[in-house]
Structure 1
């Protein structure tokens, strides 16, 4: 057998080193097989590495910078191999580490402020600490409780991404690793850890610190409910976060990352596993969370909305960004886009007070103006569409009236549809500017034909939403009828556009759908799909003939017989068999019940006993029989 071959049964070089009377740890670390031997639980090797002196040497390679005159092995190879050995999850080695407080002190000495913190060593340090969190949770947490200065040191180095990962694990991103999760989380909430992380959003810190601090806080918010998340969503902490957003001197980075934390507080993600509202749909896990946003969080955010709306004013910004279609004077900027996203998330909370404040502060009007002022910013269009849909679906007549009448959404749509070409001469009213009118910030390139605006697709989706909601909403229907041009534009332009953009009517290598698809979303399912049998048969014939012609030469070389074209012809009856399988696949994909039995029913047998939608009634089920033999139908079983 192959395992008896001499070449494959040779001893590992690690064994040759262990056979020596005098060998060093560096000799073992220099061998490439050492990690494999550790994972294979080589007893001689593990007994050597578990010694306190060897564990200490491994730690020093990780936490201490190599001398300037050191070779590449000492600077790069030995630290890497040492971290791999310590994270092989060998219990006796980890036990030696956690049971010796001096060794733990040596490990966490990497965090001391008077030492250099290279990104490479920080990665090895975080890898070892996370391994201890997973395998030696209790001893590690006991050490951290006894040395709470570790919190301060970790937060001070939060600008290093590897250190941030340690903090994220520490605050409970993987809460299942803690034996007493609730007690640990409560202990962390009682400490000053959260205050230290929030203060890292201060404008005086760097962009990296802002980003990593915000990601840590977002992780806490998304793991709600927990003591840390509850503390973070309190009014005092929300006010503290907003204080950094409008700090002195102002910082766009601080503003953007502060709003990211606020967005996470307004839309926390819950665990699918622990949610009792989880169900399965087409193989995807979907859940509905019973936990609502803390009203105290929203009420603390609303008074500062006016300050955010003021930042949406672009007239004081003198930046110029050249683009392929012209110039942006000024560009929208990530901070303004984040403000629009924040407003969109606020509206999704369905708070009545939120809608009133947004209307009175002019936020909805200004956001709608930005939608038309920046016709090529797709991210902005997505957020503004979400804002418009939230207002329309709120069933609040004041919000609907403010959006459609005061903000004149319908008039703006009809105006841009009359001339959907980018123009730098459009005058726009903006009450936040010192002057009443100004040129739009999106300016076409001189000497070139002005391109078509890029938000027509979103305008079509918004218009279709207006038409859809007008069937059940009298206020929307009334406001649409007040615009004389809307009916004609809807019947002609919008209807024709929906027909052209209906991808389910396109013949792209699949059967043509005979019925129109009225839904906008690609994720929604159609239940009344029909197929063009003649078109399907023709497509199958062309596809098969093409394959036969392509493979004809290869078949002749192997002596295969020539095939007649009639052998590959698909008539309507053959196509109907394929369509039946397609329809059966659609039914199976749309069924949410795993234990359902699937049957093929003939229309003549069911007759009038079939319910609407093609579902047979109970009376019809009793009369239908299935062929057990799939043969001549002699043996049948009544269902």
Structure 2
């Protein structure tokens, strides 16, 4: 209506385009240019598609502005130039990818003699990813003809934005690979995996190691068949462990290479760092199927990994609020424990025999009790114990209960529930203060409950538990009472109680599958409305109105059913 009355204003971009001699910089300085591009302004698009203008846009993205340059040229213009390309206007992208000189200019950003600022690297990455999505075949044909681009990308793997390009290029994007199988087939014949692994030996930078590991983890989750089979081959696994066990290399090499092995064993598992999985939903599963030859290749180095768990030769001391650690457990030891926990979950009979023979579980349980405040360690050890108990191999279960003396260690921890004052132990309490309570009671409680649960279906476990009088007494007098106290479904905290007694651990419970007590909820809600706790505006009315009677606060079961339905609907939407 306003434009009919003559109240409309011309677009600033149109005003610039109406000039006889205007420049690209005038347009880039205009805030509405991106909106005009997205709305496919014909005059603007025809101007930006010109080769001269495309070249200028690319130069703003790949070339650092001079030091004396104004703020517009160094900050705003590169950003706007990147946004123009990522508006995905087909005619502009086509003008770029079909001109080899312009493509050479774009990828000249990767040249080693150029500075590679984080800002421009991000713009370069966004443009290349946009081309990968919209002009996949043309771009892949260009890269195939210039395969040195792969090496340049790997050389800049310390830059996270470059890692995103590399991961998408190799095939971690499902849609790119599915729609362009033929154009990406040649990648399987390159030595890109070897180039990435070499970064663990040629660089001491932790960022390089983390990004290289993230790239390889992405390949394990979704990659062309050729690369996937190559990265899981025994020879490649052996190469990874040679780098990981090299004493001359930083500990970040070991940590990140073990992340790759964990991802190989369980591709659904998200390892450390940023996860570049596009358009795919990954869910954790209890069953892991790993190639037997790959598992055996990893088991060859298990003994050397267990030696690295030794803490007797370390002189490091870390002061904490509760005392001191001598030495601190360390990220590399924690990653070894995590690797073993995934290895145990793989349910490989060969792995179980090797783990029993090397005494891995026994040593890991000792560390569990030696570091009573390392919750990450406790989490992984609990997973190992549960996997052992659920194993179909009876010898593995007996090893945990007899050789490792799991029940005895649990009972000992329950007796001595405060930190021991012993200067020769790894964890020493602070002087002049009473020893704090140990921090793994919750974990051993879950282990004990799991042991009892499995004992109901396993006669061997049941026999071991029943023969131990001390265990039976502790289970009856302490564990059962603790479970009742910690059963959150019995707490009357203004929330509905469940119709049935839930004895499952809250970590294992599906909170979406609950039966609500309608009568109890109706009573709670009626009281809530009666006392006016749901709205500050109604408090005065709820408490001070003489006309208010009991019928105003009445809330029947039918109304409660409506509330419950809305709650469940909210749960479904969250899912």
Per the TM superposition, whether the score is higher than 0.5 is yes
Q: Quote the Cα distance in structure 2 between the aligned partners of 1:249 and 1:285.
A: 36
2:449 aligned with 1:464: yes
Give distance in 2, aligned partners of 1:16 and 1:326.
Answer: 71
Question: How do 1:420-439 residues align onto structure 2 when only pairs under 5 Å count?
Answer: 420-425=417-422, 439=424
Question: 1-side partners of 2:366 and 2:538: how far apart?
Answer: 63
In the alignment, does 2:187 pair up with 1:202? no
Equivalent residue runs for 1:215-234 within 5 Å: 215-223=214-222, 226-234=225-233
Q: State the match for 1:338 in structure 2.
A: 335
Give the structure 2 partner of residue 358 of structure 1: 355
Aligned to 1:97: 96
Query: What residue in structure 2 maps to residue 378 of structure 1?
Result: 375
Paired residue secondary structure (2:14): helix
Aligned mates of 2:347, 2:199 — CA distance in 1: 31
Deviations 1:61-100 (A, max 9, x none): 1111111221111111111111111221111111111111
3-state DSSP of counterpart to 1:346: helix
CA contact (8 A) 2:63 2:109 kept: yes
Q: Which residue is 1:55 aligned to?
A: 54
Partner residue of 2:385? 388
Q: Distance in 2 between matches of 1:103 and 1:172?
A: 25
Contact 2:167 2:218 in 1 (8 A): yes
2:31 matched to which residue of 1?
32
Equivalent residue pairs, number: 560
The equivalent position to 1:367 in structure 2, one of 338, 350, 364, is 364
The aligned counterpart of 2:402 is: 405
User: Residues of 2 paired with 1:392 and 1:579: CA distance?
Assistant: 43
Cα deviations by residue, 1:539-586 (Å, 9 ceiling, x for unpaired): 344212211896567659xx998321343245xxx35x4676688899
Q: 1:524 to 1:312 in 2, by over 3 A?
A: same
User: What is the match of residue 598 of structure 1?
Assistant: none
- When residues 66 and 406 of structure 1 are mapped into structure 2, their CA distance, relative to the original with a 3 A threshold, is same
Q: Does 1:293 align with 2:290?
A: yes
Say whether the 8 Å CA contact 1:63–1:121 is kept in structure 2.
Answer: yes
Which residue of structure 2 aligns with residue 142 of structure 1? 141
Give CA-to-partner distance per residue, 1:469-505, whole Å, 9 cap, x none.
1111122122223322000000110000000000010
Shifted more, 488-497 versus 169-178: the winner is 169-178
Give distance in 1, aligned partners of 2:132 and 2:141.
11
- Whether the 8 Å CA contact 2:322–2:429 is kept in 1: the answer is yes
* 2:460 aligned residue: 475
1:586-597 residue pairs with structure 2 within 5 A?
A: none
Q: 2:341 touches 2:383 (CA, 8 Å); kept in 1?
A: yes
| Alignment match, 2:310 | 313
Q: 1:291 to 1:446 in 2, by over 3 A?
A: closer
Query: Quick check: 2:287–2:345 contact (8 Å CA) kept in 1?
Result: no
Distance 1:73 1:173 in 2: 36
Partner Cα distance (1:585, 1:20) in 2? 59
Q: Deviations over 1:418-437 (max 9, x none)?
A: 12111132xxxxxxxxxxxx
Q: Please tell me whether the aligned partners of residues 532 and 539 of structure 2 are also in contact (alpha carbons under 8 angstroms).
A: no
| Counterpart for residue 539 of structure 1 | 524
CA offsets, 1:323-380, max 9 Å, x none?
1111111111111110000000001111001011111112111111111111111111
Change (3 A) 1:168 1:409: same
Partner deviation per Cα, 1:258-291 (whole Å, 9 max, x = no partner): 00000000001399xxxxxxxxxxxx99797999
Give, in angstroms, the shift of residue 455 of structure 1: 0.5
RMSD: 3.0
Q: Comparing 239-248 with 126-135, which one deviates more in the overlay?
A: 239-248
Greater C-alpha Rg: 1
CA distance in 1, matches of 2:122, 2:568: 50
SS, match of residue 532 in structure 2: helix
1:566-622 CA deviation, whole Å, 9 max, x = no partner? Answer: 43245xxx35x467668889999999xxxxxxxxxxxxxxxxxxxxxxxxxxxxxxx
State yes or no: 1:155 paired with 2:140.
no
Secondary structure (helix, strand or coil) at the match of 1:32 reads coil
* 1:415 aligns with one of 404, 412, 417: 412
Secondary structure of the corresponding residue to residue 312 of structure 1: coil
**Residue aligned with 1:47, SS:** helix
Which residues in structure 2 correspond to 1:189-268 (within 5 Å)?
Answer: 189-202=188-201, 204-223=203-222, 226-268=225-267
Match of 2:496 in 1: 511
Aligned partners of 2:137 and 2:183 also within 8 Å: no
Shift in Å at residue 150 of structure 1?
0.4
Compare 374-383 and 146-155 and name the one that shifted more. 374-383
Partners of 1:347 and 1:179 lie apart in 2 by: 34
SS in 2 for 1:131: helix
**Gap runs ≥5 in structure 2:** 271-280
Residue 325 of structure 1: which of 318, 322, 326 is its match?
322
Q: Secondary structure at the match of 1:202?
A: helix
Distance 1:289 1:378 in 2: 21
Alignment match of 1:494 (pick from 475, 479, 488): 479
Given that 1:329 and 1:442 are in contact with CA atoms closer than 8 Å, whether structure 2 keeps it comes out as: yes
Superimposed CA distance per residue, residues 157-177 of structure 1 (whole angstroms, 9 cap, x where no aligned partner): 010001000001101121312
